Structure 1
Amino acid sequence: MTKLEMIANSIVSDIERGALREGDQLPSEEKLAEQHGVSVGTVQKALERLSQSGIISRQHGRGTFVSGSRMAPADLRYVRFQDAEGRDLTSYVHVRSVRQIKQKGAWSDFLGGDAFVRVERTVGFGSRLELYSEFWLREEEFVRLHGVSHRSFEKSVRTLLDKQLSLPTLRVDQWVCFAPLTASAARVLGLEAGQPGFVMEMRGYTLRDRPLSYQRLSSGPFSERFVIVR
């Protein structure tokens, strides 16, 4: 384990055991460097990694704060990551954007219609790995959500559609492949555009087998156990 990973894992462990909670401020970079016997530069790199995963936020002139919304394993309804002992890794989700779009793609072929909403998120599993998630639904469904806040999308979007619109996800088609990452996925994950990576696509159906949602998960290489939940 590198010094960078050691620092990141220590911070995540403090969050998981409740020593640090959402909104709490972390010690200064200098204090963390002293605690771990490393340079301030190494601490900054570790904090940047956790910031990109949405676990913490770095606020200029104020400090670094716990910001990631922790997800229970049940919130990740169709995928799990586990450590070598078979224990589910705790995940933290960060909403990057919620945008109305008119671009066409695999999502429009499946959902139909001309206007869509894309929910762009990152899901971090401590400091071990990070997923880039894109979730599409028809604009007409999004409008019916009556302007829910971005933070609402830090939990399961499928659960939100079920509770708010009575549109449960009753069936999901899943595909996993090793393919070139899109430019947006590569940029967020800090990888080169076109670099091969893990890609998982999920098509969700609701009542009367009607198409409801389209999701794509992307990641670089990882060594953790990946479990698909049926």
Structure 2
Amino acid sequence: MQADSQQDEMRSPRYYRIYQALLSEIQQGSLKPGDLLPSEMSLSQSHGVAPGTARKAIDMLVDRGWVERQHGRGTFVRRADFSHSLARFFRLTDREGVQLHPQSELLGIRELPATADIARHLEVAEHSPLIEIERVRRVDALALLHEVIYLPGARFSPLLSLPTEEWGDLLYPLYERVCAEVVFRATDTLCAGPAPEGPAHHLGLEPGTQVIEITRLARGYDEKPLEWRLSRGRLDLFHYSFDIR
């Protein structure tokens, strides 16, 4: 089987082999977010191909979202920006239209065994150790969002001993700084449902009040799940916009 795989690889176009080699370096962490890719000329020389072939390999990485070209600087491993992701779903401006920045209140963090449902999302074994984070996001002291976040325990164990004052408002930079885990992409799914007693209390609502529910599955550069979260937000502040081009 290994010989067949090697033969298939040798039959692949040269640009695709260069693409696969660069992608492997990104997924394995040899090329990190923000790193500069080798130039087309350097790649063409090291792989013994024409510059146009190397350019086609880089084009594939750009088209599939792994890297981005910066005019006059080169091509860099892409770092996803989630800092304004809530703005897609909630009105985060004041009456004058000035952008507001949600602040986070950490309610708790604990280790617990994975239920069958969460294990399926995170692609881990049932009952394997997970880390659960609970927090509230506020804008001008108004509770906007209640979140429960689940992480594979083996990859995020340093968070269990992290002092509360070191958490900050954004989790993804924290994951990278403390656990060396980088979120590459995430999929959000929206629906509406009744708020359970706990989340309703933190949102200042009556239990059973309809809220917007946002589930997120985040993956790393290796395409393995890093985080599954359930966020519940106030419907009176919900706003969704999407550009169709």
Structure 1 length-normalised TM? 0.59
Q: Label 1:146 to 1:120 Cα distance change in 2 as closer, same or farther (>3 A).
A: closer
Aligned counterpart, 2:223: 209
Work out whether 1:78 is the aligned partner of 2:85.
yes
Give the RMSD, CA atoms, in angstroms: 2.7
Q: What's the secondary structure of 2:167's corresponding residue?
A: helix
Aligned partner letter, 1:166: A
The gaps in structure 1 that reach 5 residues or longer are: 1-73
Alignment partner, residue 101 of structure 1:
112
> Does the residue aligned with 1:178 lie in a helix, a strand or coil?
strand
The CA deviation at 1:184 is: 2.3
Q: 1:175 aligns with which of 169, 189, 200?
A: 189
CA distance in 1, matches of 2:141, 2:160: 35
Higher radius of gyration, 1 or 2: 2
User: Counterpart in 2 of 1:131?
Assistant: 145
Matching residue's letter, 1:200: I
> How far 1:108 sits from its partner (Å)?
2.4
Partner of 1:119: 133
SS of residue paired to 1:204: strand
Give the whole-Å Cα distance in 1 for the aligned partners of 2:114 and 2:200.
19
Mapped partners of 1:210, 1:123: distance in 2 = 27
* Residues in 1 aligned to 2:105 and 2:116: alpha-carbon distance in whole angstroms: 24
User: Cα offset for 1:136?
Assistant: 1.1
Question: For 1:10-49, what aligned pairs fall within 5 Å after superposition?
Answer: none
Residue identity opposite 2:99 in structure 1: D
CA distance in 1, matches of 2:166, 2:117: 25
Give the number of the structure whose residues are more often strand, by fraction. 1
Instruction: Assess if the C-alpha contact under 8 Å between 2:212 and 2:234 holds in 1.
Output: yes
Offset, 1:195 = 2.4
Bigger proportion of residues as helix:
2
Q: What TM-score results when the alignment is normalised by the length of structure 2?
A: 0.55
